[in-house]
Amino acid sequence: MNRLGFLKFPSANITTVITFIIVVLSFIIFFILLGFLREYIKKKRLKEYFFREAIERGLTEEEVEILWKYSLEMGRDPFLSIEFKAPFEKVVDLYLKSDPQADENLVKDMRTKLGFDFVPSFVPIVSTKDIDLFQTGKLYTEENKPYEVSLFDKDEYFMYWAVIDDKRIPNVKGEKITISFIRKGDGIYKIEGEVVDSYFENGKQILKIPHTFEFTRYQRREYARVDVELPVEVGIPIKDGLTWIKGEIVDISAGGAKVCISLEDYPNEIKPLTKLELKFKLENRNFHVVSEVVNIYSYRYSTCYGVKFENLTPEEQKFIQDFVKREQQKLAELSTKLRG
C-alpha cells in the first residue's frame, strides 16, 4: 500500500478488467441491436402480410397505407380495420381530421370495398355516418322546444338535418341541440351536437352538425327479431270461446311477434291486452302460443298486432331465438355479398 492508502493493481489486471467490461458492453449492445432488428423484421413482415391481405380485398396501396399508418398512430391492430366496421371508422376518422389533404371519396371507396357501407337494421350503428338518409327524428333546442327533422344529406364530416314541420328554428347557429330517433329493429338513439351552420334550401331549413361516435342507444326490445312471412291461425276470444281467423306473422322474436289480419277476414277491433292464441309452423316445428296484444298498427286493408308470447317453454324460446340469429346472419352475409 502506498503513502495515500490506495491499493496498487498490476497494469495487466487493469487491462483485463477493461477488456472484460468492453466485452460485456459489446454483448449487451449486440443483443439490443439484435432485438431492434428482430422487431424491425417482425414489423416489416406484418406490414407485408397486411398489405397482401388488404389488397386482396380490393384496396389500393394508397388506401392500405392510410389504414396501416393511422391504425399504428392510434395504437390499434391494423388488421382490425379491415375486419370490423367500428375500428375502421375510427381509423379513417383520424385520417380525415389529421391529414389536410384527406380525400373523402377515397374513404367512401374503402368503406364500399370492405362492405362497411351498409349496416343491417338489426345491427347497432357505430357512428352518425351510419344513419340512413331520410331517417326522421325529433330535434330539441336548448330551450327544449321540439321540431320534426329528417336526415337530408351527409358527408364524411357533417350530417345535414332538414326541419320538416314547416317551422323555423331561430338563432340556432352555435346552439347545442339534441336529436332523438327510432331505428327500426334496433333501438332509440339520442345524439347531442352543436349546429355549425343553418341555411335554407328549397324552402327547408337545413342544420349542419358534425358527425360523432358519442351517442346514447336504448334497446327497444329484449329480444332480437327478424322479418318473416308465416301463415298463422289466430284464435280471437268471443263470448262462446274462440273464433279462428287466418293471418300472417310478419316479424318474430323469442319474446313476441307482429301478426297481421285482413280487414276483410276480421273487421272488428281487437283491443290492447286481449289474449290471442296463435297456431303456426316455424321450420317444420308446430307452435300453439298464448299471447297478449301490446301494440296495434292500423293500415288501409289490414290491422297488425304486436303481441307478447306468454306460454313458450324455454326450449321453444331457444328454438325461435336460434332461428332469428341464423336469419340475421344470412341477411348480413347477403348484404356484404351484394356490396362486395
Can you tell me the distance from the alpha carbon of 301 to that of 314, in angstroms, rounded to the nearest whole number?
36
CATH superfamily of 128-219: predicted glycosyltransferase like domains (2.40.10.220)
Domain extents in the chain: 13-118, 128-219, 225-334
**What's residue 337's pLDDT?**
52
DSSP result, 50-111: HHHHHHHTT--HHHHHHHHHHHHHTT--TTHHHH-HHHHHHHHHHHHHH-TT--HHHHHHHH
73 CB contacts (<8 Å, ≥6 apart)?
Answer: 94, 98
3-state secondary structure of 309: strand
Task: Say yes or no: do domains 128-219 and 225-334 share a fold.
Answer: yes
**What's residue 31's pLDDT?**
72
Q: What is the mean pLDDT of each run of 10 residues along the chain (340 residues)?
A: 50 74 78 68 81 93 95 89 91 95 95 89 87 94 92 96 88 92 85 95 94 86 81 92 93 93 90 94 95 89 92 93 88 58
**What's residue 165's pLDDT?**
85
CATH superfamily of 225-334: predicted glycosyltransferase like domains (2.40.10.220)
User: What pTM did the predictor assign?
Assistant: 0.62
**What's residue 37's pLDDT?**
62
